[in-house]
Structure 1
Amino acid sequence: MNLDVWKKIKKKQFSPIYLMYGTEAFLLQETKDLLIKNAMHEDEKDFNLSVYDLEETPVEIAISDAETLPFMGERRIVILHNPSFLTAEKAKDKVEHRIEKLEQYVKEPAPFTILVFIAPYEKLDERKKIVKQLKANAEVLTVNTLSEKDLHLWIADRANQYHVAISSTAIQELLQVAGTNLMIITQELDKMCLYVGAEGSITEDTVKLLVPRSLEQNIFSLIDKVVNRKLAEALRIFYDLLQNNEEPLKILSLLATQFRLIYQVKELSKMGYGQQQIAGNLKVHPFRVKLAAGQASLFTEHELLKILNQLAEADYEMKSGKKDKQLILELFIMNLAK
């Protein structure tokens, strides 16, 4: 993601057309909200903000709106959701779009309108004339999964909006305990910013004090404790999870998911793939691959396959009711520590 687009919006340097696409829905929404907040006063929205779903409305109707002068305001904002005609996908809707009207508009956009395409798709069809036109004439923002570097920048930028500083070690700790889901990160970050107040600083200790570990991160820590032969600490995490009413079957499932990822990362690394390539192939966040790579170095390939077989056996025992579920997991953790 190019954060320069956000910087320009905050400086009120607007483009007549924006093309925002990608699979990170939270960032698409954040960028749209940022644009509306900076480009229009609250009392102008009723008159000059229009939102269209292009799965239900022909694009030429939205273009006609974009060509209409603003009422009691400096500019109009016209937002177009789901422009599936920019992709290679077959349209789910039966709406006929007059794309030539859009092509004409892109050549000469109205100087008083900001036209925004919000396309929740991983890719656009680069062969299409309208896609080429938009990429040449619009401000383009791609918001697929953020890299670890971009995640760090995005977190620091959000804290800065509260006039709060956050250390790099605090960001790292936040990602460790909360995971990479942007909605969860935002909730936890906003909470910490309110706690330290304007001109305050978020440190690693602040994160440890205020941010609860996600279930996935607890599973990661549990494995980490086990492989480092800290059995008592691993069991403490496990019993805390049970006390928080986490289902043993769900815990087992997440253990299997993490060990499967560790095995896949080890195999792909052996084949010469880098962390970004592995993340793309496995469709997981690069930060998760980085953490799994660290754990993969602690196991041989044979050990990982053996563990995956044990997890499959534990899953069968749980679902068939052969043993107590808690006992099955306790035995697995103890065997793993050996």
Structure 2
Amino acid sequence: MVMDLWNTIKSKRFSPVYLLFGEEEYFIKKTKALICEHALSEDEAEFNLATIDLEETPVELAIEELETLPFIGERRVVILHNPIFLTAERKKEKVEHDLKRLESYLANPSPTSIAIFIAPYPKLDERKKITKELKRNSAVLEAKPLYEKELSKWITANAKSLGVKITPEAVETLLSLTGNHLMMAASELEKLALYATVEQEIDKAMVNKLVPKTFDQNVFDLVDYIMNGQKKEAIQLYKELLILKEEPIRILAAIARQYRIILQVKKLSGQGYNAQQIASKLKMSPYPVKLALKRVNDFTEMKLMRALSELAELDYKMKSGAGDKEILLELFILKS
């Protein structure tokens, strides 16, 4: 459990080696930041914090850093990015690594250093000896993306750890406005917690007041208006996006992506897949899948494919300079 790991770090019970792997960037960044914050003071970090990219530097040089005694402080922290040798990926590496040297270090790590291996990969190759040794001799965090129910629980628990309460409606609104992106939701929650008084809980109204809509959320709303035939609302939102300096070609690409997701979700749901299975199959967050599922019965596959064809043609016109980009997209919205 990530909270248990964080509490251990906060109490300064450090492991000499950490392995942080997976696709949920928030958990990895937060864990790394906590280790650095609690292991080193600001002054110590200036001399005793090193960052190494293992795609550019042999691991044996990183070990030399780990075996160097700290200067003005109790310990060193060495962050090791991109240990591609832990995966099954076959691409040729720029540098050769002495993995035997790493195995020896893992068996007897320096008591005055903390190594943080950051592997932003969905899975590691468990067949490799080095992967087994690293997992056996380190504190491991597998940073898996959270699904909707897990996200809601996480936000509620995180609010509690920040000393505030949050209503279920506020959680739902926060996740909606941040597109179910944990990093963004956690950042906004910290701001909300600072705004809320000790007695006050975070409610839906506070979230709507303080949390701005993301570009993706605005596009979700725009596509909803277009599909509902709400031309006035669609044009108004489109104009607001232009005022925010969003490029018409970017808005067009995002609209096309939403149509494409709806078409893919329609096909997969017709084959009997549920929301979580569809999200996994399409390698995307459950949130856009959930939104798309609300739309699958409103349009035939033929109509969605026709819309995608029109959007592709519009994309070509914009890129070839066949008319004013803003007007071309506005005409598409009005005709849809």
Q: TM-score, normalised by structure 2?
A: 0.84
Written as runs of structure 1 = structure 2, the 5 A alignment for 1:270-285 is 270-285=270-285
**Counterparts in 2 of 1:150 and 1:109: CA distance versus 1, 3 Å:** farther
Range with bigger deviation, 23-32 or 180-189? 180-189
2:308 corresponds in structure 1 to 308
Q: Return 276-285 or 126-135, whichever deviates more.
A: 276-285
Q: Is contact 1:84–1:91 with CA below 8 Å preserved after alignment?
A: no
Which residue of structure 2 lines up, in the alignment, with residue 250 of structure 1?
A: 250
SS in 2 for 1:202: coil
Task: Kindly provide the CA deviation profile for residues 157-184 of structure 1, in whole angstroms up to 9, marking residues without a partner as x.
Answer: 5544543333332222122223244554
* Equivalent in the alignment of 2:98: 98
* 1:124 match: 124
CA distance in 2, matches of 1:54, 1:15: 21
Q: Tell me the CA shift for residue 258 of structure 1.
A: 0.4
Structure 2 unpaired stretches of 5+: none
Does the 8 Å contact 2:148/2:180 carry over to 1?
Answer: no
1:10-54 deviation digits (Å, cap 9, x = unpaired): 344433321112344454222111112123333433454443333
What pairs with 1:16-165 in structure 2 (closer than 5 Å)? 16-46=16-46, 48-67=48-67, 73-89=73-89, 90-94=91-95, 96-156=96-156, 158-160=158-160, 162-165=162-165
* C-alpha RMSD of matched pairs (Å): 3.1
Superposed, 1:208-287 pairs within 5 Å as 208-287=208-287
Aligned residues: 335
Distance 1:134 1:62 in 2: 15
Deviation at 1:325, TM superposition (A): 4.4
C-alpha distance in 1 between matches for 2:40 and 2:133: 27
Kept in 1: contact 2:175–2:181 (CA 8 A): no
How far did residue 276 of structure 1 move? 3.0
TM-score, normalisation: structure 1: 0.84
Matched letter for residue 102 of structure 1: L
CA positional deviation for 1:120: 2.8
Query: What is the percentage of aligned positions where both structures have the same residue?
Result: 49
Question: Residues 33 and 258 (structure 1 numbering): CA distance in 2 closer, same or farther, change over 3 Å?
Answer: same
Q: Any conservation in 2 of the 1:85–1:91 contact (CA below 8 Å)?
A: no
Residue 93 of structure 2 aligns to which amino acid in structure 1? K
Tell me if structure 2 keeps the 8 A contact 1:163–1:199. Answer: no
1:200-239 deviations in Å (ceiling 9; x for gaps): 4322111211222222211211222344454433332223
Shift of 1:256: 0.9
Distance 2:44 2:321 in 1: 62
- Bigger CA drift: 183-192 or 291-300? 183-192
Shift of 1:283: 2.6
**Residues in 2 aligned to 1:133 and 1:196: alpha-carbon distance in whole angstroms:** 46
Task: Return the letter of the residue paired with 1:106.
Answer: L
- 2:189 is aligned to 189
Question: Aligned to 2:88, what secondary structure does the other structure show?
Answer: coil
Which consecutive residues of structure 1, in runs of 5 or more, have no partner in the other structure? none
